[in-house]
Amino acid sequence: MKKIYYYDTYNEDIIKSKKQDIKLKKNYKWLHTNIFYKIISYFVYYLVLLFALFYSIVFLRVKIKNKKGLKREKGYFLYCNHTHVLGDVFNPFLMCFPKRPFIICSPSNLGIPILGKILPIAGALPIPDNIHDMIKFKESVNYHVNKGNPIVIYPEAHLWPYATFIRDFPKTSFHFPYDNKKKVYTATTTYKKAKIFKRPNITIYLDGPFGSDKKTTKQNNIQDLHDKVYNTMKERSKLNNYEYITYKKKN
């Protein structure tokens, strides 16, 4: 029997951890310049990459389409739909290889047992909840993307496992590619019925690049990037052919 989740709005957390409301520590550092930290972080990154190869390809049966364009790109923003508990942690490492991704995430991810401690070292950038820290957070995003690293963003913000549709999301994060003059790509995770297994196979479609129009205003550019990403992901989501979990709006 299929699972059915009922929701009021798209802003709900369907999956909650025990430390869902975790707060970042005072003086949290997003950007580390210490040479020893950098060495350790690269070591952890390659460990996570190796685990991702096994977990995503063997266990989740993930296929990635149209990866050639990303291999040539240096420093870009990758927007993804948020539909898998661990897949959304590990799949970006495969999608962005050989580049090292930095993933914008909710602080609640840091509350995941064991993995939560590793994520920031591997490249997670948790979103702060105050203006002062937001400045440092933005500086770290700008630094990494201009060093040639991909920045991965889940604009839907809330994890809805195996959702086969794209939820509305704000244009807030689209000032990053505009301000840094970087290209935008999309990664749409879709679910296909498996012949043997109960859980569906996963196919991720990469699309882009999408850029800014220099002839118009910043706000128009940001809206345009948002619309291109949303419409592309929505079109790709039509390739889902299996609904492992059903979502229904409450009356």
Task: State both tokens at 45.
Answer: 């990154």
Which residues fall within 8 angstroms of residue 5, CB to CB, at 6 or more apart? 14, 160, 245, 246, 247, 248
Task: Please check whether residue 5 lies inside any domain of the structure.
Answer: no
CATH of the domain at 186: 3.40.1130
Task: Please check whether residue 9 lies inside any domain of the structure.
Answer: no
Task: Please check whether residue 20 lies inside any domain of the structure.
Answer: no
Kindly report the pTM of this predicted structure. Answer: 0.94
Domain count, the chain: 1
Q: With contact defined as beta carbons under 8 Å apart, do 97 and 111 qualify?
A: no
Q: Does 20 score more than 70 pLDDT?
A: no
Q: How confident is the model at residue 25 (pLDDT cuts 50, 70, 90)?
A: confident
Task: Please check whether residue 24 lies inside any domain of the structure.
Answer: no
Task: State both tokens at 129.
Answer: 């909840």
Full domain range(s) for residue 135: 32-249
At 196-211, the pLDDT tens digits run 899 999 999 999 999 8
Closest to 84 measured CA to CA, from 166, 160, 197: 160
Task: Please check whether residue 2 lies inside any domain of the structure.
Answer: no
Q: With contact defined as beta carbons under 8 Å apart, do 154 and 203 qualify?
A: no
Task: Please check whether residue 15 lies inside any domain of the structure.
Answer: no
Closest to 24 measured CA to CA, from 143, 171, 140: 140
Task: Please check whether residue 19 lies inside any domain of the structure.
Answer: no
Across the chain, mean pLDDT equals 92
Task: Please check whether residue 161 lies inside any domain of the structure.
Answer: yes
